[in-house]
Structure 1
């Protein structure tokens, strides 16, 4: 499932070209790695400092706004998962093994940092969670 680039991400990519820069040059200018800047621009950065990075990008390029991060599991769903893990005396490692996914990727999903529908579906099935991962009003 390929995540579509946000409007902010598209504006940044256009501004980089308009400024005759590369993402690598932009990254150097704001003091972050090329990989980190690329992840923020493409909406795949899970660290809470993405807002600060985006603001630095905006300052250099004259762009506005922040990356839209609409596709992340709800706090309610994340809490439900954590409660069920405790109730069932299961660790994140054990759940990851049962789902056949990496512990790191599973942690990103159950901590609300990244959406992966296959992982969410597997977690819901294994832990018998009925809470929607993404609220219907989003």
Structure 2
């Protein structure tokens, strides 16, 4: 499931080329890792500091705007899943096997780093959770 790069991300990539830089050089200039800058530019960074990083990128490159924040499961949903796993004496590995998904992918979802409707639905059904992972007002 490939995610479309945002207009801001495209503008940043063009500006990096126009400034004869690489994303790695940009990352060094603003004091973040290459991986973090790449995730922000490509819309895959879910940490709340993404705006600060984007503003630093804009300052260096002269770009404008902010990346669209990707939807991720709420902290409340993630915490509920972890509590239910403990209550039901189930490991993440066991849950992943029951859902027939990789442990790594499941971990990304239940730690709020990635959204996957099928995994969320499966987790809710298996653990008996009646909570929306991404509230409408998010």
TM-score normalised by L of structure 2: 0.76
> How far has the Cα of 1:65 moved from its partner?
4.4
Query: How many matched pairs?
Result: 138
> How far has the Cα of 1:42 moved from its partner?
0.6
Does the Cα contact within 8 Å between 1:46 and 1:108 map onto a contact in 2? no
Note the aligned Cα RMSD (angstroms).
2.6
Change (3 A) 1:96 1:120: same
> How far has the Cα of 1:115 moved from its partner?
1.0
Partner of 1:107: 107
Per mean C-alpha deviation after superposition, the further-off stretch among 84-93 and 20-29 is: 20-29
Residues of 2 paired with 1:135 and 1:11: CA distance?
30
Partner of 2:126: 126
> How far has the Cα of 1:95 moved from its partner?
1.4
1:41-69, Cα deviation, whole Å (9 max, x unpaired): 11223556544543432232123444332
> Is there any run of 5+ residues in structure 2 with no aligned partner, and where?
none
> How far has the Cα of 1:36 moved from its partner?
3.4
Change (3 A) 1:137 1:56: closer
> Is there any run of 5+ residues in structure 1 with no aligned partner, and where?
none
1:1-53, Cα deviation, whole Å (9 max, x unpaired): 22232343233123223323332442343454544322221122355654454
Change (3 A) 1:46 1:93: farther
Residues of 1 paired with 2:85 and 2:50: CA distance?
29
> SS at the partner of 1:15?
helix
TM-score normalised by L of structure 1: 0.76
> SS at the partner of 2:115?
coil
Residues of 1 paired with 2:53 and 2:103: CA distance?
26
